[in-house]
Amino acid sequence: MTGLNIALVQWPNRTLPTREEPCQTGEDSSGQERTVNMPKVPEMSFKCGGRSILQVVLTPYTLCAVSSETDDRMRAIAERVFASETKDEDVREEISLFDVAENCPILNQELADHVANDDDVEKRMKILRRTQPLLDDKPTYLEVPHFQRVTITGDYAAGVTMDDFELACKGLYRALTIREKYMKLAFQRFPITPSQFLCQIEGEQWKPEDQVLPVFTSPPKSGEDPFSTKGLPPNNGYVARMKDGVIFVYKDAASADKHQPLNHPGPDLATFLDDMNFLIALIAQGPTKTYTHRRLKFLMSKFNVHEMLNEMEEMKELKNNPHRDFYNCRKVDTHIHAAACMNQKHLLRFIKRSYRVDADRVVHVLKGKEVTMKELFASLNLHPYDLTVDSLDVHAGRQTFQRFDKFNAKYNPVGASELRDLYMKTENHISGEYFATIIKEVSSDLEDARYQYAEPRLSIYGCNPNEWDKLSSWFNKHKVFSPNLKWMIQIPRIYDIFRGRNFVPHFGKMLENIFLPVFQATIDPQSNPELSIFLKHVTGFDSVDDESKHSGHMFSTKSPKPEEWDIVKSPSYSYWIYYMYANITRLNQLRKERGMNTFQFRPHCGEAGAVTHLLACFMTADNISHGLNLKKSPVLQYLYFLAQIPIAMSPLSNNSLFLEYNKNPLLEFHQKGLMVSLSTDDPMQFHYTKEPLMEEYAIAAQVFKLSTCDMCEIARNSVLQSGLSAEEKEHFLGTNYLKDGPEGNDIRKTNVAQIRMAYRYETHCYELNLIKQGLMAE
Ligand SMILES: [Zn+2]
């Protein structure tokens, strides 16, 4: 147990109708028994569209002290939260524990009274007097054209009591320090501005050396062979072995036997769970929900006013910017699956062409017998000449909405898994030749378009340790390299299927199959040159599957270790995320020590399912894909804003699967200042044109009425978020790209107005400053 995890949260007494819940008893550190009210939830009912909605506004957790029971109590809260998330769809429509109702709860009479009666007015005035000049700090940068700033003067904590304000600030501060800790540990990014604020709060001086960054392989110089095995480092004799689901690195076999690993720091499970439970309690905490909800509303309104006042000035800047426009500023498709990176027409044309050329080639094994392409198509009762995009049937549509199972079937052309094997797999009778050719055609289109890049994901399943060898041999054999592609590895969360078929004995084996070969290739690169070369071009790991499937498991100290997890059921999302993160962290430590590129963790998160997924990724992921469910938790949404966690959004994909286009939060997130980029997800299923990424931008621009400055800002975000090397980012964004605000922006390269950059930067600082004020208030 690692001490006090939750600030004492106690709402002032007031007369509200309450529903008594059974009391639990616990022991505090002195061993005395005392009663803990597990959450006593005052309820308020209000009408919404003629329907009475039960609204849970206040959750006065009386969480106390350090004790052996702390974890149990945290777990009880977490379980309650978890239960509220796994209810039936229609029940979930009610306001969940993380939610704040659209009509702000502070407007409710009871809460209004709370603010009016329970506030510390004297303290408020004192702080107001003290902080006024602090909030009017003048920016230090130059070169931003004059624009109209939106300033709010007076009481910045209006609408919440001083106690609630301080409580919220403490929680948010602690949450940010948690993220910073886990990012640094894994060589992932935490932006300079919040890091500087955290230092200031702690009374320390921020130093540039404090910044931790991932390492990516620079593109090959002209004439350099990206597949060259020259200069691979020699074996350094280390030994890698798995223990409790995490791979440790040892100096030699003897120290491995004694479990004396090298001093590579990694996360500690007990601390991680404490941090996670703290965050779970925080995002369900009434005052913090109210406070963050109000800040987000404010951010939205502030952007609208900024836009109204400065739209023309921003446009003027862009018009005066020579050479650069939206078409020739760099954009990265930050989330795309290799197996669906071509569009349906491209696949159709490729199938027809391959049949014309290769009809008599042996391409497949059918029921133990080798068959030619002609025979294969005959067995499926079709002729490629007759195929159309309609009969190919790979496009998602009305039938896939809320049906992930049907969507997965769309990966099979004409519904035939044989064709998926032949055209979209790296491992088949023709060694994945067709798939490699299709990808090379896609990358050559990108190279022609010149300003577009993509980060396709290839799968490692963890069913067998030689998957890496096969994948890297495919990569090297077909020379699947393009300067416009940055590779990622996706791990499907399908343990239950493998365990059900007895392919793996337990979950730990799966983790070992996924990570051990990479550790070994890092320790002795020359023993596996193909894999070592491939890993140089891999920038990160993704975790994929249908998030709306509930595992029914809750990650806690009582969860079995991965090696003990031998039941057929899959562990929870958070469990998966933790063990992936823990292994990536140790792997990065090793690779950094060896002077190699590191890997980012960039899971699919918040597309569906519980908001706790977004919480696990707040702690562990450099950036995420989707993030739709941030809509459901103002606290997490605000934290994603404060920490500027990049989110790759794919509204066209969501439109076919989980959320109608006009309800997509992309615009809202962008306006509030969350760091969003646009990505295609699966062009084969969702797009029509030869430039799916442009299609994505074009539709977003039309539906959401985005300005050129908005689009260029999103494109800039996509480059920042991506696994492009530092060298490339400097080239595409300007030499100071790591700095925040106008200083870090080179308008000649990005076409983002300096006015916009100044607005974003000042707004971000303002919000961080509020937290600082809240913490200094005491
Ligand atoms: Zn995806």
pLDDT of residue 96: 59
Dihedral of the alpha carbons of 139, 143, 144, 146, in degrees to the nearest 10: 100
Candidates 694, 701, 709; CA nearest to 319 is 709
Ligand 1 center to 179 CA (angstroms): 24
What predicted TM-score, i.e. pTM, was given to this entire model?
Answer: 0.86
Q: Which long-range contacts (CB under 8 A, 24 or more apart) does 695-702 make?
A: 695/652, 696/650, 696/651, 696/652, 697/326, 697/331, 699/651, 699/652, 699/661, 700/651, 700/666
Ligand 1 center to 156 CA (angstroms): 40
Amino acid at 589: Q
User: Is residue 628 a contact partner of residue 610, using CB atoms and an 8 Å limit?
Assistant: no
Ligand 1 center to 606 CA (angstroms): 11
pLDDT of residue 108: 59
Q: What is the pLDDT confidence band of residue 400, given thresholds at 50, 70 and 90?
A: confident
Ligand 1 center to 680 CA (angstroms): 8
* Residues 346-384 pLDDT 10s: 999 999 999 999 999 999 999 899 999 999 999 999 999
Average pLDDT rounded to a whole number, residues 698-723: 97
Ligand 1 center to 145 CA (angstroms): 40
pLDDT of residue 78: 65
Active site residue 335: no
Q: What percent of the chain has pLDDT over 90?
A: 72
Ligand 1 center to 681 CA (angstroms): 5
What b/e string do you get for 135-172 counting C-beta neighbours within 10 Å, with b at 16 or more? beeeeeeeebeebeebeeeeebbebbbbbbbbbbbbbb
* Residues 462-498 pLDDT 10s: 999 999 999 999 999 999 999 999 999 999 999 999 9
User: Which carries the bigger pLDDT value, residue 120 or residue 201?
Assistant: 201
Alpha-helical (H) ranges within 37-147 are 70-85, 89-92, 109-118, 121-131
Q: What percent of the chain has pLDDT over 70?
A: 83
Ligand 1 center to 336 CA (angstroms): 6
Ligand 1 center to 604 CA (angstroms): 7
d(CA 336, CA 92): 30
Q: What is the pLDDT confidence band of residue 79, given thresholds at 50, 70 and 90?
A: low
Q: Is residue 184 part of a domain?
A: yes
Ligand 1 center to 337 CA (angstroms): 6
Ligand 1 center to 603 CA (angstroms): 9
**Greatest Cα pair distance in the chain:** 88
pLDDT of residue 590: 97
Opening angle at CA 135, ends 132 and 138, nearest 5: 120
Phi-psi domain of 626 (left: phi exceeds 0; alpha: psi -120 through 50; beta: other): left
pLDDT score of 94 more than 90: no
Ligand 1 center to 641 CA (angstroms): 22
Average pLDDT rounded to a whole number, residues 289-299: 94
pLDDT of residue 49: 34
pLDDT of residue 110: 67
Ligand 1 center to 261 CA (angstroms): 36
d(CA 463, CA 75): 32
Ligand 1 center to 684 CA (angstroms): 12
Q: Is residue 716 part of a domain?
A: no
Average pLDDT rounded to a whole number, residues 496-506: 96
pLDDT of residue 778: 61
Ligand 1 center to 735 CA (angstroms): 31
Residue 181: give the domain boundaries.
Answer: 1-213+269-323+725-778
pLDDT score of 58 more than 60: no
Q: Is residue 285 part of a domain?
A: yes
Residue 424 CA from chain centroid, whole number: 26
d(CA 179, CA 156): 26
pLDDT of residue 151: 83
Options 626, 670, 687, 764, the catalytic residue: 626
Q: What is the pLDDT confidence band of residue 97, given thresholds at 50, 70 and 90?
A: low
Burial of 231 (C-beta count, 10 Å sphere; 0-12/13-18/19+) = exposed
* Residues 561-619 pLDDT 10s: 999 999 999 999 999 999 999 999 999 999 999 999 999 999 999 999 899 999 999 99
* CB neighbour list of residue 120: distance below 8 Å, 6 or more residues apart: 161, 162, 163
* Residues 167-176 pLDDT 10s: 999 999 999 9
Round the CA-based radius of gyration of the chain to a whole number and report it. Answer: 27
pLDDT score of 62 more than 60: no
pLDDT of residue 71: 59
Q: What is the pLDDT confidence band of residue 116, given thresholds at 50, 70 and 90?
A: confident
Q: Is residue 683 part of a domain?
A: no
Opening angle at CA 619, ends 532 and 657, nearest 5: 85
Q: What is the pLDDT confidence band of residue 43, given thresholds at 50, 70 and 90?
A: very low
Average pLDDT rounded to a whole number, residues 216-236: 92
Q: What is the pLDDT confidence band of residue 50, given thresholds at 50, 70 and 90?
A: very low
Candidates 62, 61, 53, 63; CA nearest to 100 is 53
Candidates 414, 393, 335, 424; CA nearest to 652 is 335
Q: What is the pLDDT confidence band of residue 30, given thresholds at 50, 70 and 90?
A: very low
Opening angle at CA 16, ends 11 and 17, nearest 5: 130
Q: With both helix axes pointing from N to C terminus, report the angle between 70-85 and 269-283 in degrees, rounded to the nearest 10.
A: 50
Residue linked to tokens 């993160």: 581
Ligand 1 center to 301 CA (angstroms): 32
CA 618, 621, 622, 626 torsion: positive or negative?
negative
Residue linked to tokens 């404490």: 274
Ligand 1 center to 559 CA (angstroms): 28
* Residues 297-348 pLDDT 10s: 999 999 999 999 999 999 999 999 999 999 999 999 999 999 999 999 999 9
d(CA 256, CA 266): 17
Average pLDDT rounded to a whole number, residues 716-745: 95
Q: Is residue 778 part of a domain?
A: yes
d(CA 608, CA 603): 13
Number of independent structural domains in the chain: 1
Q: Is residue 243 part of a domain?
A: no
d(CA 229, CA 208): 35
Q: Is residue 579 part of a domain?
A: no
User: Which carries the bigger pLDDT value, residue 177 or residue 45?
Assistant: 177
Q: Is residue 622 part of a domain?
A: no
pLDDT of residue 74: 63
What is the residue-averaged pLDDT of the chain? 86
Candidates 177, 399, 331, 323; CA nearest to 696 is 331
Candidates 713, 654, 717, 642; CA nearest to 682 is 654
Burial of 108 (C-beta count, 10 Å sphere; 0-12/13-18/19+) = middle
d(CA 511, CA 498): 13
Ligand 1 center to 544 CA (angstroms): 7
DSSP 485: B
User: Is residue 356 a contact partner of residue 383, using CB atoms and an 8 Å limit?
Assistant: no
Three-state DSSP state, 332: strand
**Residue 162 in tokens:** 């001083």
pLDDT score of 138 more than 80: no
pLDDT of residue 35: 36
pLDDT score of 46 more than 60: no
Average pLDDT rounded to a whole number, residues 738-762: 94
User: Is residue 396 a contact partner of residue 450, using CB atoms and an 8 Å limit?
Assistant: no
Ligand 1 center to 543 CA (angstroms): 9
**Residue 654 in tokens:** 């969501």
pLDDT of residue 7: 34
pLDDT of residue 410: 84
User: Which carries the bigger pLDDT value, residue 110 or residue 257?
Assistant: 257
pLDDT score of 32 more than 60: no
The secondary structure of 166-230 as a DSSP string is: HHHHHHHHHHHHHHHHHHHHTT----HHHHHHHHHHTT----GGG------PPPPPTT--TT--T
Three-state DSSP state, 550: coil
